[in-house]
Structure 1
Amino acid sequence: MYTRAAASDYDDWETVYKNPGWGSKYLIPLLKKVETYQPGGSAVHGTSGPIKVSYMEGETNVADQYLAVASQYDKERGFTDDVNDFFNCNRYGELSNLTTVERRRVVRVLFENNRAVGVEHVGDAEGRVKGEVVPLKSYASRLVVLSAGAFGSPAILERYSATFLLHLTGSTVILKRSGIGAADVLKRNNIPQFVDLPGVGEHYMDHNLIFAPYIASEDADTLDDLFSGKDEELEPYATRWEKDGGGLMRHNGIDAGIKMRPNAEDLREIGPEFQPRWSAYFANAPDKPVAWIGTLAAYAGGNPTVPRGKYFSFGYYTEYPFSVGRVHITSGLDAYGKLDFEPGYLDHIYDMGVLRWGYKKSREFARRMDCYRGELKIGHPVFPAGSKAKTDESAKPVPIDAPDIEYSAEDNKAIDEFHRGNVQTSWHSIGTCAMKPREEGGVVDANLNVYGTVNLKVADCSIAPANVSANTYNTALAIGEKAAVIIAKELGISGVSEA
């Protein structure tokens, strides 16, 4: 999925977190530069970039019904288009000055004093079987840039770095090994501290995702056969795909989604506990949605007791969770060692109210869709006996103007319990090497330099100082393009434009 963050998200990066040059007026031109927006007719999208962005031809009728219901059910709420699917065209895969080494993992950064001069890395197979292997060293003539993501980049910084002297003969002598990060984390792993950066691995952010499944009519376009069918059931889909690239096999099943802001009635539903968060963060930023709600044309779950059939699911997540987590190493030398990961999902009451609203709102959308045939109970809250909100596996669609389901305080508790037991990642992990002032827990500065080091940068989604209201692919492009501009300027490389 290809969606762009709100302009105010990037403006916050620049103003709130003190990163000059990272506001929307700088990043949106870079995003236009990288795009070819194939629907056309948009002044805010690009026309000649390497990333081809288009709508999927032939959306599922599940998606069509969802969008139709949403526009009628929420008549007072304004709607605007967004991009749902993309085609990726890579024209940079075979550059003469680019060498890639696959299936290897960086153990640590190599330093001369505090200057990064290279990395040490091991092969994937050797690392996983814990065999005796001599790590390889790759040296940088000018700059080391980490792009290992929200899990990998902080782990590389924390693991033993090697400071050494390079002899004229070409041999090296390691003087000391030490890590970059918080003193207590490094001490737990028997690593002396090289640079005191308590923010490394902290402030992990994601979008807190839930999928609730519904039973679909027989005429619904769903991907259930593709997800769980036998070979003979997949054959017609594969034949169509091989013939012309068409059919359901080209779908990911998620071809409709809406970024939503609550109105006054919705805010009352979310609850008074959320009001301080709304007032401080959302009220004066009208481009910031509170939740994303979208359809998946299939059963989204792994429960083996669910019978074969046709299903669709509603996914919903918090766009800006207040809860944050952390990720740290458990080994100073093992690049394949397990990480100490605490996602922090739903640690704060603000996030509970938003997810509860997302469940109720998406359920109302589902009930009004023509393909709706009831809730699949195994993927919904367990409501108390006699509840007006009880699920029904044999229901039929209700009219657009039908009254909403009534929920009691006990029903709300059941929803919250369901969310605590089923919340999952959106695979939108960011923030663990945050770009903000060092004294505020920052790890890199506005030029992506790791504090306390020379010639070491981080350029990936781990540098995001705050969350974004989008799937993070587009944000990763923005960070990559901005990093290219910064690095080219520092190294005197011409031809890298800012727009």
Structure 2
Amino acid sequence: MNSSPNEFDIIFGGGGTAACVAAGRLASANPTLRILVLEAGEHTKYEDSHVQPGRYFGHLSPASTTLDFHVGKPSKSLAGRSLVVPSGRCIGGGSSVNFTMYTRASASDYDDWEGQYKNPGWGSKDLLPLLRKTETYQIRPHQPTHGYSGPLKVSWGGHVTNIGDQFLKVAAAIDNDRMYTEDVNDFYECNKYGKWPKCVDILLSLLISLNGVTPRWIDGETGKRSDPAHYYIYNQEANKNLVIRTGQRVKRVIFEGEKAVGLEYVADIALRPDVDQTPQQAYASRLVVLSGGAFGSPAILERSGIGAADLLAKHDVPVKVDLPGVGESFQGKLVSYNFEVNSSDEADTFDALIRGDIAETAKNFDLWMEGGKGLLAANGMDAGIKIRPVAEEDFKELGPDFEERWNEYFVNAPDKPVIWFGPSSFLLGDHTTAPVRKYYSLAYVNEYPVSMGSVHISSGQDPHAPSDFNPAFLNHPADFATLRWGYKKTREIARRMKFYRGEHLPIHPKFSANSNALCNGNSSGPAALDAPNLKYTEDDDRAIDDFHKQFIQTSWHSLGTCAMKPREDGGVVDPRLNVYGTRNLKVAGNRCYFTKSAARARLMNNP
């Protein structure tokens, strides 16, 4: 074992979800390994804001220190907006701050990964055992696609709201084309409504992601967030060979020829602007792993001379490997929220907790401390569906802009959903500008957007410089089509739920005054279950498109910028996660919301 404080066997550049799982598993398997994890953010150990799932709202504040906020270029497709995309900035990364939703890719996604993108060993048959290995599924025993002895717990959480129940009842009454399932994440099916389990973000991808109470990454016995930071890293404190250095931002990879031998890093200035910026070096005798996510990993590669030669020359970075795929193929799933006003005291919502109501916070803190129950042990997202079109009316709504995408990507993969949608038991908006009352929201997410952007460095030397980021959201007409369909489907359910009291008008399409689809800002109650569906004209559809340009957001699920596919096709890493043109350098954790756990497990089995 090396005695120098800066000499290790393996170094991880980034301390997020992937690094916690990979470093933790390696350290557990071989405690003699000297492992270093470098993380720009701070520790999350036993902090209420991280271990209490219901506090995830606090991480969304613009003043948050647990997130990095990446500002995209202004876009005509977004009505001139500069979209802001957050990523985790703390030990555990996104898994320590996210909404704790548990969801997995479809089997065909992994099979595409293996076949279409030429990655042997990454098919569904290979990865399902590894998915099972990460989890303890507390919801139902003896399910063949779930695991029961892994460190991360999956449950319903400590509280289920009546909003999710109402959503499922209405969906069952008005959607005759789809059924209910006890497991919305069984790996092989979609297009069924169900409750949604709770968990944490344990997903990692180098390419593309992809389905009634919703499962959560929450321990059903304790009510605690079940995240890799606590279940892979903090539970190994006795192992002094596993070293975590927080507040450190990786600048570049240190090479000897083609071989990666270490990382250069500087103190992060986000929390300490006046901190000494003298570069430090740490050396790895066996392996360097970049685990900085969709934004951090490509930036480190480019500052190290690995990327498109013309871009590196622009920033005066000597070219080590001309690898044009670095930073390209950025994809982020598009999400919109159909906000509904709810003034009924019967509704069980998070709104008072989010507003910081003292009595509500104290009550739920006591419930959490006494038995892991209450809103702090939940996420308010209790039902949903991974949905795809089946009826003629669905295809008519999606229209010709989506037809090519359907035939190319979905028609022969019946397990692939087009969108996810479900209710949230709170206002998914700015409470400081909204009337004090109860709300619920219907969110819909484009699971496979066509539009792809890019993430590159804006400085060859400064690791704190903002990204040159082009999200490219809504740059393809097929993405508008799926979101229009999502808006209409969710609105029909939302306006029939018994708590409905009209739309929260600032966050809705501006239909004309004589439109049949005109939003109702104040209602005495819901529409009848057998009420006819709203009819939309071409002008209404344009209003919906304009609404999405103005309000579409990211669902945090950024991926693709270090793609795992052949080099000649724009790939950055091979099937064993090795960066092309280098030795002893891998990328892990180029985030993707639905596939991280499997890829991490592959890294562990093939170090």
TM-score by length of 1: 0.89
Q: Which amino acid aligns with 1:8?
A: S
Tell me if 1:236 matches 2:337.
no
How much does 1:132 deviate?
4.9
Runs in 1 of length 4+ with deviation above 4 angstroms?
Answer: none
Identify the match of residue 247 of structure 1 among 374, 393, 396: 374
Aligned counterparts, 1:289-368, within 5 A: 289-302=417-430, 304-368=432-496
SS in 2 for 1:429: strand
SS in 2 for 1:385: coil
For 1:414 and 1:22, the matched residues in 2 are separated by 42
Paired position in structure 1 for 2:347: 220
Aligned counterparts, 1:35-184, within 5 A: 35-39=135-139, 40-80=141-181, 81-82=183-184, 83=197, 84-87=215-218, 88=226, 90-93=230-233, 94=236, 96=239, 97-125=241-269, 129=273, 132-159=276-303, 161=304, 179-184=305-310
Identify the match of residue 393 of structure 1 among 491, 515, 521: 521
Paired position in structure 1 for 2:543: 414
| Alpha-carbon displacement from aligned partner over 1:218-275 (angstroms, at most 9, x marks no partner) | 2100111011134345333333333333222222211212110112311111111111
How much does 1:127 deviate?
9.0
Tell me if 1:32 matches 2:160.
no
How much does 1:8 deviate?
0.3
For 1:128 and 1:259, the matched residues in 2 are separated by 43
For 2:356 and 2:339, the matched residues in 1 are separated by 18
Tell me if 1:484 matches 2:585.
no
127-136 or 375-384, which moves further after superposition?
127-136
Aligned counterparts, 1:259-298, within 5 A: 259-263=386-390, 264-298=392-426
SS in 2 for 1:140: strand
SS in 1 for 2:445: strand
| Alpha-carbon displacement from aligned partner over 1:35-78 (angstroms, at most 9, x marks no partner) | 11112231111111111111224410001111121122112223
For 1:57 and 1:241, the matched residues in 2 are separated by 8
Paired position in structure 2 for 1:166: none
User: Is the Cα–Cα contact under 8 Å of residues 250 and 264 in structure 2 kept in the other structure?
Assistant: yes
Paired position in structure 1 for 2:112: 12
Identify the match of residue 475 of structure 1 among 579, 595, 598: 595
Paired position in structure 2 for 1:438: 567
SS in 2 for 1:239: helix
For 2:350 and 2:311, the matched residues in 1 are separated by 45
User: Is the Cα–Cα contact under 8 Å of residues 293 and 362 in structure 1 kept in the other structure?
Assistant: yes
Paired position in structure 2 for 1:169: none
For 1:57 and 1:101, the matched residues in 2 are separated by 33
How much does 1:130 deviate?
6.5
SS in 1 for 2:555: coil
Paired position in structure 2 for 1:373: 501
- Over 3 Å counting, the alpha-carbon distance change for 1:303 and 1:383 in structure 2 is farther
| Alpha-carbon displacement from aligned partner over 1:152-172 (angstroms, at most 9, x marks no partner) | 00000001x3xxxxxxxxxxx
SS in 1 for 2:502: strand
236-245 or 265-274, which moves further after superposition?
236-245
How much does 1:456 deviate?
0.5
| Alpha-carbon displacement from aligned partner over 1:389-432 (angstroms, at most 9, x marks no partner) | 01112222122221101111111001000001111111111110
Tell me if 1:205 matches 2:331.
yes
How much does 1:303 deviate?
6.2
SS in 2 for 1:243: helix
Q: Which runs of 5+ in 1 are unaligned?
A: 162-178, 465-471, 488-499
User: Is the Cα–Cα contact under 8 Å of residues 128 and 336 in structure 1 kept in the other structure?
Assistant: no
Paired position in structure 1 for 2:586: 457
| Alpha-carbon displacement from aligned partner over 1:196-233 (angstroms, at most 9, x marks no partner) | 11110000111101112101122100111011134345
How much does 1:187 deviate?
2.2
For 2:272 and 2:405, the matched residues in 1 are separated by 44
Paired position in structure 2 for 1:497: none
- Over 3 Å counting, the alpha-carbon distance change for 1:13 and 1:128 in structure 2 is farther
For 1:258 and 1:105, the matched residues in 2 are separated by 39
TM-score by length of 2: 0.74
For 1:262 and 1:227, the matched residues in 2 are separated by 35
Q: Which amino acid aligns with 1:318?
A: N
SS in 1 for 2:420: strand
For 2:360 and 2:566, the matched residues in 1 are separated by 56
